[in-house]
A = this chain, B = another copy of it.
Amino acid sequence: MTYEQLFYNIKKKQSYLCVGLDTDINKIPEHLLKTKNPVLEFNKQIIDATQQYTVAYKPNTAFYESMGTKGWENLHLTIKYIKDKYPDILVIADAKRGDIGNTSKMYADAFFNKLNADAITVAPYMGEDSIKPFLEYNNKWVIVLALTSNKGAFDFQFIKENNETLFEKIIKKCNSWSNYKKIMFVIGATKASKLKNIREIAPDNFLLVPGVGAQGGTIEEVAEYGLNKNCGLIVNSSRGIIYADNTTNFANSAKENAFILQQKMKQTLKNL
């Protein structure tokens, strides 16, 4: 998916919502456990219920890998379901991969060719050759961890050299390897006040913002500091939407919560 297509979808839906498909078989409604493939059934119903308010879905690979081979199959089938039925929605494999060049190349093949994801999150620790293989695909996105939403973000990401933090250095270096039409950055909603400074060094990049809802961030704050002239934001909510309700009404509740977030986003997009 191109930058222009993504921006077009955001304007059309008046939304920059991403729904995190962190599907845990121990948390899905009990009645689904009787179906042939509970995780896939849950995902399909969540996707159908929320797609009109959503510009991206983000399955986190950990939740699928913890279910073994069957889980990997479900990750594949979930992405296929989205791309077949709603091809204009961005699919982000939240995988946080990164390895030496010839190995990252295998990951890029796994996620872009075999799983057909539009985007993958990558960890920057191993530097240029760990990220470049992902950049060699047309119309695919690389989303680099910069400032994450968790408490552990303070352990290393704020280390400073020459008055510049590690996450700032990463943003600058990555943008020197490619540009805002291929690279996004992960910036946690729990660090929304930092978005102002980040916009100075990454004015044009899309920022993938997790941490709204269960983790404590708000749409209003993220929008205030993070929006740019082409929106430039994709804000993720996982638990607040997919586990809104664990009765037979779960998909409707997910839809309602997605709608509430989309309405807030629409307010912030008034000039687009």
Q: Mark A116-142, 1 if CB is under 8 A from B, else 0.
A: 000000011111111100000000000
Q: Which residue, of A114, A157, A173, has the highest number of chain B Cβ atoms within 10 A?
A: A114
Q: How far is the CB of A100 from chain B (nearest CB, A)?
A: 4
Q: Is A260 located at the chain interface by the 8 A CB criterion?
A: no
Q: Is A262 located at the chain interface by the 8 A CB criterion?
A: no
Q: Which residue of B lies closest to A155 (CB)?
A: B127
> Is the CB–CB distance between B151 and A127 below 8 Å?
yes
Q: Which residue of B lies closest to A20 (CB)?
A: B103
Question: Taking beta carbons and an 8 Å cutoff, which residues of A are in contact with B?
Answer: 22, 24, 60, 62-63, 65-69, 71-73, 76, 94, 96-101, 103-104, 106-107, 109-111, 114-115, 123-131, 145, 148-157, 159-161, 166, 169-170, 173, 215
> Is the CB–CB distance between B107 and A62 below 8 Å?
yes
- Residues of B within 8 Å of A22, CB to CB, are 103
> Is the CB–CB distance between A150 and B130 below 8 Å?
yes
Complex partner residue of A96 from B66, B97, B131, B166, CB under 8 angstroms: B97
Q: A98-B96, A129-B152 are in contact. Are A114 and B159 (CB under 8 A)?
A: no
> Is the CB–CB distance between A100 and B157 below 8 Å?
no
Q: A66-B110, A106-B62, A170-B156 are in contact. Are A127 and B101 (CB under 8 A)?
A: no
Q: How far is the CB of A23 from chain B (nearest CB, A)?
A: 11
- Residues of B within 8 Å of A155, CB to CB, are 127-128, 173
Q: How far is the CB of A73 from chain B (nearest CB, A)?
A: 5
> Is the CB–CB distance between A68 and B114 below 8 Å?
yes
- In the complex, 14 of the A-B residue pairs with CB atoms within 8 angstroms, ordered by the A residue number, are A62-B104, A65-B107, A65-B110, A66-B106, A66-B110, A66-B114, A68-B72, A94-B99, A127-B150, A127-B153, A127-B155, A130-B150, A130-B152, A160-B161
